[in-house]
Amino acid sequence: MTEMVIDVKDVRYVYPDGFVALDGVNVRVLEGERVAILGSNGAGKSTLLMLIDGLFKPSKGAVQVLGMPTDDENFHEIRSRIGFVFQDPDDQLFCPTLWDDITFGLLNMGLYDDEVVRRTKDALRIVGLEGYEEKAPHHLSVGEKKKATIAIVLAMKPDVLILDEPTANLDPKSRVGLIRLINRLHEGGEITLVVATHDVDFVPMVADRAYVLDKGKVLAEGYLEDVFSNFKVMEETGLEPPTITRLFKLLNRSIGREVIQSLPLTVEQALYEIRQYLVVRSKIVDP
| Contacts to Mg ion by CB under 5 A | 45-46, 87
- Does 34 help bind ligand ATP (rule: CB under 6 A)? no
**Residue 272 interacts with which of Mg ion, ligand ATP, none, CB < 5 to 8 Å by class:** none
Picking from 5, 15, 86, 89, the residue whose alpha carbon sits closest to that of residue 49 is 86
Contact 145, 129 (CB under 8 A): no
Letters for 98-137 (x = contact with ligand ATP by CB under 6 A, - = none) are ----------------------------------------
- Does 8 help bind ligand ATP (rule: CB under 6 A)? no
- Does 163 help bind ligand ATP (rule: CB under 6 A)? no
Q: How far apart are CA 255 and CA 207, in angstroms?
A: 31
Q: What residue type is assigned to position 138 of the chain?
A: H
Question: Which residue, 140 or 213, is less far from ligand ATP as judged by CB?
Answer: 213
- Does 47 help bind ligand ATP (rule: CB under 6 A)? yes
Question: Helices 142-155 and 113-127 sit at what angle, rounded to 10 degrees?
Answer: 140
145, 168, 247 from 192: Cα distances, Å: 23, 21, 31
Bridge partners (DSSP) of residue 151 are none
**Residue 72 interacts with which of ligand ATP, Mg ion, none, CB < 5 to 8 Å by class:** none
**Residue 79 interacts with which of ligand ATP, Mg ion, none, CB < 5 to 8 Å by class:** none
- Does 19 help bind ligand ATP (rule: CB under 6 A)? yes
Q: Which of residues 196-225 bind ligand ATP (CB under 6 A)?
A: 198
Residues 6+ away with beta carbon under 8 Å from 91: none
**Residue 44 interacts with which of Mg ion, ligand ATP, none, CB < 5 to 8 Å by class:** ligand ATP
- Does 237 help bind ligand ATP (rule: CB under 6 A)? no
Out of 5, 11, 29, 43, the only residue in the binding site for ligand ATP (CB under 6 A) is 43
- Does 42 help bind ligand ATP (rule: CB under 6 A)? yes
123, 160, 190, 196, 231 from 163: Cα distances, Å: 16, 10, 17, 6, 26
Closest residue to Mg ion, judged by C-beta, is: 46
User: φ and ψ at 37, to 5 degrees?
Assistant: -110, 110
- Does 94 help bind ligand ATP (rule: CB under 6 A)? no
User: φ and ψ at 114, to 5 degrees?
Assistant: -65, -30
Task: Please report, as ranges, the residues that interact with ligand ATP according to CB under 6 A.
Answer: 15, 17, 19, 21, 39, 41-47, 87, 198
